[in-house]
Amino acid sequence: MSLILSPVVNAEAATLGGHFSGHRLDLAGLGDFASPVMGFDQYRMSGPTFAPHPHAGFSAVSYVFEDSPGGLRNRDSLQHDLVIEPGAMVWTQAGSGVVHDEFPARTGEEVHGVQIFINLPRRKKDLPPRMLAIAPADVPEVVDAAGNRTRVLTGRFTDAASPVEPAEPFDLFDVTARGAWRFRVPARRNVLVYVLSGAVEVGAGDQVRQVEAFQAVAGQADEEDDLHVKAREPAQFLLLSGTDPREPVAVYGPFIMNDQAQLTAAFERYRRGEMGRLSPIT
């Protein structure tokens, strides 16, 4: 059997201040099966929560769900300043380092979204920072005979390919499921299914996992294989699939590197202002 499934894990509820609540996925419970995903928060935010902050060594992905009442303003030290509208995504490929800031476009108007941290391999951690964005109307959609709707934010599903091309191949889909749905997991890839609402059955070979809202399961494929997802009731889930760099990981705050020397170098770049600067919104 090529595709091996993990146990089901939960996303634990958390709050931060008076404007932010969410669910943080227990990636440690998925072990190596979660890599290259290094962080996953589904959240609701109604006011400024975080000050401008740096990132380096990975990509920070912000996706605002279609049901979000409001948009998310995204600024960075590359001089981008835009609103991520419901249904849109911004992929901040931090690389060697960037400073960014995110908060509701209109204070008091809730944003429902997800932020995902995706590791970069050692050979790409020093890439120049880059911001990739896709508007709601530009996200390819696939509706199949069972009535499942798949939004292809990055990567490819059947004949639909996203125009967003990260440094490393990565599939990110938002699926509204009504029946049976299938994804062909590429060889040497990991895959993660996170359920936003409803309940699904995730299967590979003779393995079956029952997954409900605020839960996830992951899989690891040595060879190309099928992942089957069947809606037990109308459901929405995210599918993420990327390649595990299989390298040492060193994390310090907003930096994800391979060793202490890289972390120190990233901090010094930030301290010297080489990642750029952002002034707080007043």
Residue 109 is labelled as binding a ligand? no
Residue 270 parent element (H or E): helix 260-271
Closest to 105 in 3D by CA, of 134, 133, 74? 74
* Residue 240: φ, ψ to 5°: -125, 135
Residue 100 is labelled as binding a ligand? yes
Write down the residue that tokens 């952002």 correspond to: 278
The answer to whether residues 124 and 151 touch, using CB atoms and an 8 Å cutoff, is no
* Residue 123: φ, ψ to 5°: -70, -10
- The token duo for 165 is 């091309």
Exposed/middle/buried for 32, CB within 10 Å: 0-12, 13-18, 19+? exposed
Radius of gyration of the chain (CA): 18
Residue 102 is labelled as binding a ligand? yes
The answer to whether the bond into 280 is cis (omega within 30° of 0) is no
Closest to 63 in 3D by CA, of 93, 33, 41? 41
Write down the residue that tokens 């490929």 correspond to: 93
> Residue type at 164?
V
Q: Which residues define the annotated binding site for Fe cation?
A: 53, 55, 100, 102
Q: Which residues define the annotated binding site?
A: 53, 55, 100, 102
